[in-house]
Structure 1
Amino acid sequence: MLFFFYGPDSFRVKRKVDAIIAGYKAKHKSGMNFRYFDFSQTGELDELKNFLGAFSMFQEKKLAVVENIFEADEDILAGFAEYLKKEGVFKTAESFLVVPQLLELNNDKKKKQKYSIKEGGAKNLFSLLTSKESQSEEFEFISGAKLEQWIKKEVERIGGKIDLNAARKLIEFAGADLWRLQNEIGKLAAYKNGEAITEGDIEEMVESKIETDIFKMIDALAARNKILAFKHLHRHLARGESEIYILTMLAYQFRNLILVKSEVEKGSQFGALAKKIKMHPFVLRKTFDQSKNFSFAALENIYEKLMETDIAVKSGRLESQAALDLLVAEIAG
């Protein structure tokens, strides 16, 4: 039987493969009939054939995990496809062949395909692996309500508690990267020791992802550097972050800028801001510095545009990516 797990979400692909391996090892104790094969190395197709074709002394089913399949040469890709068709790997109950494959989203709008897959053997093999004969499962990036539920379940899985408001706050601070979220969840759950994780805990313990992402885009917008602003925007999209998420993060930070600018124009110095505005220390410092690049009227105007764009996207009046492109172009001038 063949399982093909693919997509850009490396965390969930790995967790799925790890679950299959753990289940297999629980039933088949010898460990003699489980192997990894790395198709970026030479000779792995022949090794795989020999492994699956050899007689098992322990009367156990075999498990082979094939990695980096699309990094193989054209002749290996063709040979692997032919082997799958001829040897009945899709249907056999005597062995399990697991093929995990991370794929990058295609950013070339001229091409209709979803993923960046080379023409020829790789593309043909992908079609075969995602056919009805294969047990295939796609792992796309998750966002919105699905991401919030994932966080809630992940916290509960390790014995913790968190409500949806705190889950949303964690997304604001850590983003949608499941590897980082798992790490932050582990730290928060250990700190709370069975008690519910709160928004305050997240503000205190999690370093804001805005440090490396949204701040850079806003710096480019403030400098009226349209090319750099678009570069940062499309880097977010290439990582699988939804347009709604990006809009939310931009609105979050421009709201912070308005709060800080308002206090500064009233005469507040940086040292006094922390007492007046509840904000992560790093975010406060960066926001204070960025506020010098905007007038209060400009910030209000940008925030109004963000709200209008948000409504237009959610109501369906504008396509989400086109709306973001227009917004960035308008702000950067």
Structure 2
Amino acid sequence: MDEVKKLIDEIRKGDVKPIYFLMGEEGYYIDRIAEYIGKNLLSEEEKGFNQMTLYGKDVSIDDIVSNAKRYPMMSERQVVIVKEAQHLSRTIEQLATYAEHPQPSTVLVICYKYKKLDKRKKLHKVLKAPNGVVFESKKLYENQVSDWIRKMLKNKGFSISHKASILLVEFLGTDLSRIHNELEKLEVVLPTNTEITPEIIEKHIGISKDYNNFELKKAIGEKDVMKAARIINYFSQNPKENPFVVTVSLLHTFFSQLLQYHGLQDHSARNVASALRINPYFVDEFQIAARNYSMKKSSRVISSLREMDLKGKGVGSSNMSQSDLLKELLMKIM
């Protein structure tokens, strides 16, 4: 993310602001920036007296301000990092008074995950240079995450096949922190310059390259009954690794997008990828599925998926087993 690189480059060059207000839906970048500041602004000797971490659920705004106003000991500055500051959302505006005249020798880092400041209010307005920096960490769309994985691995001397990156996204979703943790496991066991393949992911992360929701969705789209049946049989035998609720959710998203596909006038690959917010790699799947499932049939499948979602949660299912739920699901779709 260019904004993150720019921010860290500024800090590395010595352009350090008194306040860093890190907010937004994607927690990964908030953690990375706070981690960089925590590791690099003070020497190990200085950290003992001049660096502290507070938690939003345990402190008040007054506590934060009181700590921020302290003078450093035997150091040019001190660092105060407030994690989980979203717990202070009801009182966060009280920080505006301090933000107007921050302590020059303090670097205050506020990690305000999953929330955003109201730009119309005072705090957001006063958190500007030279007083501070407001950084918004935005959630990536699913079609952007594969590219993020590729770039992340390239920076560390690895590459990844397209199918392998898609497999990671299908299994781990768009949670960048979770993906980062899994990639770090691979980096430990693999030599540099390795291309990460579905086989490597299956061996080291435990995601089956053949029996996963990505392959199930593809089989259903192609109306390959035998392949779909083999996959749900595997899911039935490994219910903890393949929760029914996740399968239903992913299929619901797929058929909702397929319904949207039917409504498009321009079915070119570029337009489909843009309109559905999917990786261009998946456009062929929608083109094939559209031939097998009309708009009317897609609507019926969505209705069936909603019904199966309720059954999976115990509504009107008489505690059906995952095996029976999956079989009924496949029958209703195909």
Range of TM-score over shorter length: 0.5 to 0.7
On the 8 A contact 2:160/2:195 being kept in 1, the answer is yes
Aligned to 1:109: none
Q: Does 2:271 match 1:315? A: yes
1:100 aligns with 2:111: yes
Which of 226, 235, 257 is the matching residue for 2:220? 257
Superposed, which structure 2 residues align to 1:93-242 within 5 Å? Answer: 93-104=104-115, 124=121, 127-128=124-125, 131=128, 134-143=132-141, 146-156=144-154, 159-194=157-192, 195-208=194-207
Residue 126 to residue 10, structure 1, CA distance change in 2 (3 Å): farther
Name the CA distance, whole Å, in 1 between partners of 2:125 and 2:191.
48
Where does residue 68 of structure 2 map in the other structure? 52
Q: Which amino acid aligns with 2:262?
A: E
Paired amino acid for 1:83: Y
Structure 1: runs of 5+ lacking an equivalent: 105-114, 216-248, 291-300
Alpha-carbon deviation of 1:64? 1.2
RMSD: 4.6
TM-score, L = length of structure 2: 0.56
What CA distance in whole angstroms lies between the structure 2 residues aligned with 1:161 and 1:305?
Answer: 35
SS class of match (1:4): strand
Per the alignment, residue 98 of structure 2 pairs with 83
Aligned to 1:224: none
**1:21 is matched with which residue: 30, 38, 42?**
38
**Aligned-residue offset at 1:196:** 1.9
Deviations 1:240-270 (A, max 9, x none): xxxxxxxxx6xx6332235674437xxxx97
Q: Give the Cα separation in 1 of the matches to 2:217 and 2:86.
A: 43
Q: Do the aligned partners of residues 94 and 71 (structure 1) sit closer, same or farther apart at CA in structure 2, a change above 3 Å counting?
A: same
**CA separation of 1:256 and 1:130: change in aligned 2, threshold 3 A:** farther
Alpha-carbon distance, 1:139 to partner: 0.8
Instruction: Confirm whether residue 8 of structure 1 aligns to residue 5 of structure 2.
Output: no
When residues 32 and 103 of structure 1 are mapped into structure 2, their CA distance, relative to the original with a 3 A threshold, is same
Equivalent residue for 1:331, pick from 287, 301, 307: 301
- How do residues 55-74 of structure 1 correspond to structure 2 at under 5 angstroms? 55-72=71-88
- Amino acid aligned to 1:256: A
Give the unaligned 5+ runs of structure 2. 1-17, 245-254, 278-294, 304-334
Q: Distance in 2 between matches of 1:102 and 1:37?
A: 14
Contact 2:56/2:88 (8 A) holds in 1 = yes
Deviations 1:20-60 (A, max 9, x none): 11111347634311122334335x44443443333433032
SS of equivalent to 2:48: coil
The offset of 1:168, in angstroms, is 2.9
Q: CA deviation at 1:198?
A: 1.4
Letter of the 1:315 counterpart: N
Q: Which ranges of 4 or more aligned residues in structure 1 deviate by more than 6 Å? A: 283-286, 301-304, 316-319
Among 35, 48, 53, the alignment partner of 1:31 is 48
Q: CA deviation at 1:314?
A: 5.7
User: Given that residues 313 and 319 in structure 1 are in contact (C-alpha distance below 8 angstroms), is that contact kept between their aligned partners in structure 2?
Assistant: no
Q: 1:330 to 1:309 in 2, by over 3 A?
A: farther
Distance 1:80 1:307 in 2: 47
Q: CA deviation at 1:186?
A: 2.7
SS in structure 2 of the partner of residue 315 of structure 1? helix
Instruction: Give 3-state SS (helix, strand or coil) of 1:54's partner.
Output: coil
- In the alignment, the residues of structure 1 paired with residue 274 and residue 65 of structure 2 have an alpha-carbon distance, to the nearest angstrom, of 52
Distance 1:143 1:205, change over 3 A: farther
TM-superposed CA distance for 1:304, in Å, is: 7.0
| Distance in 1 between residues matched to 2:299 and 2:120, nearest whole Å | 36
CA–CA distance in structure 2, aligned partners of residues 167 and 34 of structure 1: 38
> Cα 1:146–1:259, aligned 2, differ >3 Å: closer, same or farther?
closer
Distance in 1, matches of 2:75 and 2:257, equals 67
Identity %: 15
Q: 1:28 to 1:20 in 2, by over 3 A?
A: farther
Q: 1:183 is aligned with what amino acid?
A: N
Cα distance in 1 between the residues matched to 2:82 and 2:66? 14
**Alignment check: 8 A CA contact 1:160 1:196 kept:** yes
